[in-house]
């Protein structure tokens, strides 16, 4: 190519893709906080279901 508009557009696309890949590979603290919150919620739901199972088991004839 002779450096025309198409080559320029392809270069811009490649640059944008490189920036996206770099950003995606970077750990993000907000994601870690969300993951930790998810784990706490999962543990709370698991415990609640366990307690519910115990209550139901105690009421079976």
Per-residue model confidence as pLDDT tens digits over 36-55: 999 999 999 999 999 999 98
Give pLDDT, residue 3: 72
Residues 6+ apart with CB under 8 A from 11: none
Arithmetic mean of pLDDT, 3-7: 85
| Number of folded domains that form the chain | 1
* Residue in the block written with tokens 């609640």: 48
The rounded distance, in Å, linking the Cα atoms of 26 and 7 is 29
What is the reported pTM? 0.48
Give pLDDT, residue 2: 64
Domain residues for the domain of 35 are 5-59
């Amino acid at each position: 190519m002779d450096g025309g508009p198409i080559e320029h557009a392809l270069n811009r696309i490649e640059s944008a893709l490189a920036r996206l890949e770099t950003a995606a590979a970077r750990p993000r603290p907000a994601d870690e906080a969300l993951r930790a919150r998810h784990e706490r919620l999962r543990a709370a739901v698991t415990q609640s279901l366990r307690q519910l199972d115990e209550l139901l088991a105690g009421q079976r004839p």
